[in-house]
């Protein structure tokens, strides 16, 4: 979810829950993740889990999923959701991307939506690799661009994504990541939801979009940037 959220959006469990319904409603991200690395029976750490969106989707297939979240309110919401769903193999814990509360080699997969394609993220990448088992995989969910949503985002956000994903010279490739593009969508078919969410997320661009005839969904391209532990 955080891959396309403006940086000024405050943590809000209701917002995150609604976004979980409208972003990637067909769950293509999970299908793409499965093609990168099998997840059945694996131990997974979801860094920056928010309200536990991905742990909840993964729980029935994984051996243990750790949802790691720094924000107290979002972490509490994730714990309530896991308890209400009777998912004993989800553990929600406090932690920062640069200081994960896991021992060395604790998990098979680290899933993260908190790593930005910038050298300031290198400590978080090193920390993610630390907690991976040999041949484990770090998978970062980020924005890829080249889609309908680009018209609603700040130009510098789009430019940053395009630069980071350039062939041979982009930040992801220079830092040892492979790129899998997920072609999904943002569902805005429910007008009440669209009227509430789009201006809140994208300001005047969201309002302008709603004032014109528009489709029921916006094409959205997310990147799964993945790197195996050496």
Predicted confidence (pLDDT) per residue in 168-193, tens digit = 899 999 999 999 999 999 999 999 99
Three-state DSSP class for 104? coil
DSSP state of 108: E
- Confidence (pTM): 0.95
Mean pLDDT over residues 80-89, rounded?
A: 91
CATH, domain range 2-144+171-184+223-228:
3.40.50.150
The full set of domain ranges for the chain reads 2-144+171-184+223-228
pLDDT on residue 40 = 93
- Please report the beta strands in the chain, taking only residues with DSSP state E, as ranges in sequence order: 43-47, 64-69, 90-94, 107-112, 132-143, 178-187, 217-228
């Amino acid at each position: 979810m955080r891959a396309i959220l403006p940086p000024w959006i405050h943590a809000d469990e209701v917002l995150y829950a609604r976004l979980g319904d409208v972003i990637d409603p067909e769950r293509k991200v999970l299908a793409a993740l499965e093609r990168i690395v099998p997840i059945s029976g694996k131990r997974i750490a979801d860094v920056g889990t928010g309200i536990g969106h991905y742990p909840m989707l993964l729980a029935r297939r994984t051996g243990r999923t750790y949802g790691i979240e720094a924000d107290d309110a979002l972490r509490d919401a994730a714990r309530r959701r896991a308890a209400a769903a009777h998912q004993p193999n989800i553990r929600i814990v406090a932690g920062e991307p640069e200081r994960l509360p896991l021992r060395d080699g604790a998990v098979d997969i680290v899933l993260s939506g908190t790593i930005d394609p910038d050298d300031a993220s290198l400590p978080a990448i090193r920390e993610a690799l630390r907690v991976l088992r040999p041949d484990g995989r770090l998978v970062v969910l980020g924005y890829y661009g080249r889609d309908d949503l680009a018209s609603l985002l700040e130009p510098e956000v789009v430019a940053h994504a395009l630069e980071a994903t350039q062939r041979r010279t982009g930040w992801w490739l220079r830092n040892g990541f492979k790129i899998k593009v997920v072609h999904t969508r943002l569902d805005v078919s429910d007008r009440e939801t669209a009227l509430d969410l789009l201006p809140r997320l994208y300001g005047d661009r969201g309002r302008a979009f709603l004032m014109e005839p528009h489709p029921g969904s916006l094409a959205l391209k997310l990147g799964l940037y993945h790197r195996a532990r050496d």
